[in-house]
A = this chain, B = another copy of it.
């Protein structure tokens, strides 16, 4: 018997029938004696419908009013799910963000949770009720409705689990766990039983969009045990925990992440003087373009080459910015490429194992894949390669680090 927070996303509650199926799932847990707090998103499609009405009203809808509008999506779901639970004879009570109350700052459309009152929820749990909470939303100090940004329901679930000291926070989704890599690219991709928060963060930020990054950070900070599970298939899912596995069982690499949406820009022959990085990246940031990887080559002949990557959608705008900067700095030339991709190996095991990067570079070289940029952190190595080699690279690395189904996952 434990307190469990369960989160069901938009697809899991996308139709009347699915909401009923979710209610039955919850009822099963409750019959096992668990106290259940459920966090739900808006029915799939609903948020888009509301956003589209808003943009008909105002080109850039006022942030405060957009939150009033969008928060209705989750409010509909909590009411319907509570009815479905009651219909099964399971006492339930719904809560909007302000009813809990989930107190946030006043940054509308991307508010951050500051405090959660749990008194009322605890009273309901003690009275044997399932508590159904609207994800994604909160209330500011001035009593206005706020939302946490897309995917914010994950954050709501983790924050509630932390505030209630829940045994586990279960994120139900349309995959049955976190995989060593995308199964659509590598047939032998394997579901991981466990992964650390750090690894999950690297996997998530690199394109494995199972969980919102913020919710994983939050879970790590407050040591909330997370589990990713399939909404409508049974299985253990993937556990995301603070603890690393003991050295003996530790795989060096836990997964291969990748991202196609990359473009790179290079300025060549930049005078090698202090402050040159900020003079190149400053104008990019002011143009509201987010920079991912940054590499500066060692200077020769008093000049240096400077390369950075951006999201492919920002490529043309970034090129224009760079053209101006090139002229301003008196650099020799600039160029760019939007047919690139990023591949990364991720694993906390790298901390205690040397030579992992070399192993990666050798594997790529063996396939004739040229590496354009390298960037490393404590638990990952990322490389930029030509996009056409992406699948080949992922498969080669997946095999090199013995992540395939049926192969050993231990590193002796």
A contact residues vs B (CB 8 Å cutoff): 16, 19-20, 50, 53-54, 56-59, 61-62, 64-66, 68-69, 71-72, 75-76, 78-80, 82-84, 86-87, 93-94, 96, 98-99, 143-145
CA distance A71 to B145 in the complex (A): 15
- Copies of this chain present in the complex amount to 2
Closest to A81 in B: B57
For A98, list chain B residues within 8 Å (CB): 98
Shortest CB-to-CB span from A368 to chain B, Å, is 55
| 8 Å CB contact of A83 from B57, B80, B84 | B57
For A78, list chain B residues within 8 Å (CB): 68
Pair B72/A75 contact, Cβ less than 8 Å: yes
CA distance A99 to B99 in the complex (A): 12
Closest to A67 in B: B79
Shortest CB-to-CB span from A407 to chain B, Å, is 47
Closest to A50 in B: B76
Pair B79/A69 contact, Cβ less than 8 Å: yes
Main SS of chain A's interface residues? helix
Pair A99/B143 contact, Cβ less than 8 Å: yes
| 8 Å CB contact of A62 from B53, B59, B82, B144 | B82
Pair B68/A16 contact, Cβ less than 8 Å: no
Shortest CB-to-CB span from A209 to chain B, Å, is 28
For A79, list chain B residues within 8 Å (CB): 54, 65-66, 68-69
For A94, list chain B residues within 8 Å (CB): 64-65, 68
Closest to A134 in B: B68
9 A-B pairs in the complex with CB atoms less than 8 angstroms apart: A16-B56, A58-B83, A58-B84, A58-B86, A65-B83, A65-B86, A68-B75, A69-B79, A69-B80
Pair A69/B76 contact, Cβ less than 8 Å: yes
CA distance A87 to B79 in the complex (A): 32
Pair B76/A57 contact, Cβ less than 8 Å: no
Pair A57/B16 contact, Cβ less than 8 Å: yes
Shortest CB-to-CB span from A93 to chain B, Å, is 8
CA distance A169 to B80 in the complex (A): 35
CA distance A143 to B96 in the complex (A): 11
For A65, list chain B residues within 8 Å (CB): 79-80, 82-83, 86, 94
Pair A53/B68 contact, Cβ less than 8 Å: no
Pair B86/A53 contact, Cβ less than 8 Å: no
Knowing A53-B16, A94-B68, the reply to whether A62 touches B83 (Cβ < 8 A) is: yes
